Amino acid sequence: MKFLQIPDGLKTKALEIADELGDVVISCESCYGSCDIREDEAKLLGCDEIVHYGHSKMIDSDIKVEYVEKRESYDPTEALGKLNIKFNKIGLISAVQFLDSLDIAKKVLGNRAILGGQVLGCDVSNAEKIVDKVDCFLFIGSGKFHAIGVALKTGKPVFILNVEHNRIEEVDVRLFEKQRIAAQVISRDAKVWGILVSTKLGQMNIKLAKQVRDKLKPKKSYILSMDEIRPEKLEGIKVDAYVNTACPRIAIENRTDFGKPILNPDEI
């Protein structure tokens, strides 16, 4: 029997996919990335294979995993015709769904474009490897997370070619930077810290949590574990600030949801 994991945005297709797969259990848990391979659940349910939709491989697991990347066909030519940015060399990047559009964009932009490749969740190494050759990046896809990650990691201007609206917009990370600085300043007075660890296979990093605990000494800290890290699960736990060792987007995108300062380990 197979165990189907599917991102929330594709759940409307879950039953069609299940019909194609045959003997299958559909996981209804949210699935934000290929870091989240739910092998324990699959084994518990007697499944011998996971079918993981919408992401490409990131981690190894004990159980067989088939990744179904789900490429979209999008022609960026019209939107690129209206491209009006002052930068000369443009690094081209995208999420897995729009990798085929990068080749079209390269042809349209010619020598101005340098191919970077896929941004895989929080892994922006394909942008970092061309950072010295480009003045800015153009991300082809939907949503802002990947582009924000590239802007914060590289320090270069990043534009999104939003495939849903067929238009180009610049990513503004100033708000995220202000929120980070505020969290750093407020947490200086924290006496007791909570170190957040996710039990998701590709996010779990207990070694890092212990290193953080050592770094925070002599301040008191507690390691707090859960599957998906959500603020409501922390209600009643009397710490003054958090360090997040799981998915970095939790602290970057949802920093203000926690009611207390939250930092990623490299922000302490």
Stretch of 6-14, 17-25, 30-38, 251-259 contacting ligand SF4, by CB under 6 A: 30-38
Closer residue to ligand SF4 (CB): 18 or 122: 122
Residues in 151-210 at the binding interface with ligand SF4, rule: CB under 6 A:
203
> What whole-number distance in Å separates Cα of residue 255 and Cα of residue 247?
12
Question: For the CA atoms of the chain, what is the radius of gyration?
Answer: 20
Give the residue from 112, 109, 164, 116 showing the smallest Cα distance to 141. Answer: 164
126 binds ligand SF4 (CB under 6 A): no
Detail the DSSP E strand segments found in the chain.
2-5, 24-26, 49-53, 64-68, 90-94, 113-118, 136-141, 158-162, 167-170, 192-198, 220-226, 241-244, 262-263
Please report whether residue 99 would count as binding ligand SF4 according to CB under 6 A. no
**CB neighbours (10 Å) of residue 18?**
17
The yes or no reply on residue 37 touching ligand SF4 (CB under 6 A) is no
The nearer residue to ligand SF4, 142 or 203, going by C-beta atoms, is 203
Is the distance from CB of 160 to CB of 105 less than 8 angstroms? no
Pairing mode, if any, of strands 220-226 and 192-198? parallel
Q: Is position 97 an interface residue for ligand SF4 (rule: CB under 6 A)?
A: no
Q: Does 94 bind ligand SF4 (CB under 6 A)?
A: no
**Residue 162, phi-psi category: left (phi > 0), alpha (psi -120 to 50), beta (remainder):** beta
Applying CB under 6 A, which of residues 122, 152, 204, 239 lies at the interface with ligand SF4? 122
The answer to whether residue 139 forms part of the interface with ligand SF4 (CB under 6 A) is: no
Min CB(200)–ligand SF4 separation in Å: 8
Q: Does 32 bind ligand SF4 (CB under 6 A)?
A: yes
CB atoms within 10 A of CB 155: 10
Instruction: Examine residue 114 and tell whether it contacts ligand SF4 (CB under 6 A).
Output: no
33 interacts with ligand SF4 by CB under 6 A? yes
- Does position 247 bind ligand SF4 by CB under 6 A? yes
Span from 28-36, 85-93, 156-164, 219-227 in contact with ligand SF4 (CB under 6 A): 28-36
Residue ranges binding ligand SF4 (CB under 6 A): 32-33, 35, 121-122, 203, 247, 249
